[in-house]
Chains A and B, each alone.
Chain A
């Protein structure tokens, strides 16, 4: 029971309008997916809250078994063209980085 990557992408986009979403099939079987989501809605949310938004968007497809596993990476997008602001210089790339250079996110997960 695989799921279409486009459908997953749409579900996430519906939940997070304006987000940039990439969904990849990790195994070729269509049930282990990886989503990279860059959304302005993530600003000021803790990492776990960001992940919750993405997971909730696809919950139904996880519950019915079409997605067995979903890896999520969230990135805070600067609000597009909007009045600028603090989010723009605090993009929270949260993985694939040298630990030494990781942005200060200490408070987010407490």
Chain B
């Protein structure tokens, strides 16, 4: 069984962060290609999001997210309290424009990755969240 406190903490974070990414590593230094892809897409959309590095507590977090949303692999993207999916689903939705729509932002013109230096401000980003 999952530690109830951890589960409650996660549910609170999911509720309180409109866009929340559970990932391996941090947005600045992703430790896994799948997490890196999702970070790249969120950054390309320029949305603000909270990020939780799951590596320090991988197994408990796996258990907890398994109970909360029946999903046990990372990354996991939550929007408005709902699990959107892992890297595959997020990527499909990014490419189709559904992700931009869900997040209420403009779909970037062309490039999937890294909007280049056109003077746009860097995407806002909240500091990584810590779970103790």
Binding site for B on A (CB under 8 A): 47-48, 51-52, 55, 59, 62-63, 69-73, 94-95, 97, 99, 102, 105-106, 109-110
B102 close to A109 (CB less than 8 A): yes
Determine the residue in chain B with the shortest Cβ distance to A52.
Answer: B70
A48 close to B96 (CB less than 8 A): no
Q: Which of B72, B88, B95, B107 contacts A73 (CB 8 A)?
A: B88
A71 close to B88 (CB less than 8 A): yes
A109 close to B96 (CB less than 8 A): no
Residues of chain B within 8 A (CB-CB) of A62 are: 72-73
The minimal Cβ–Cβ distance linking A108 to chain B, given in whole angstroms, is: 9
Binding site for A on B (CB under 8 A): 32, 34, 70-73, 82-89, 91-93, 95-98, 101-102, 107
Q: Helix, strand, loop or mixed for chain A's interface?
A: mixed
Given known A59-B72, A62-B73, contact A106–B88 (CB-CB < 8 A): no
Given known A95-B95, A99-B97, contact A51–B102 (CB-CB < 8 A): no
A51 close to B86 (CB less than 8 A): yes
Given known A105-B98, A106-B101, contact A47–B71 (CB-CB < 8 A): no
Q: How many angstroms from the CA of A55 to the CA of B24 in the assembled complex?
A: 19
Q: How many angstroms from the CA of A82 to the CA of B73 in the assembled complex?
A: 35
Q: How many angstroms from the CA of A109 to the CA of B78 in the assembled complex?
A: 11
A47 close to B92 (CB less than 8 A): yes
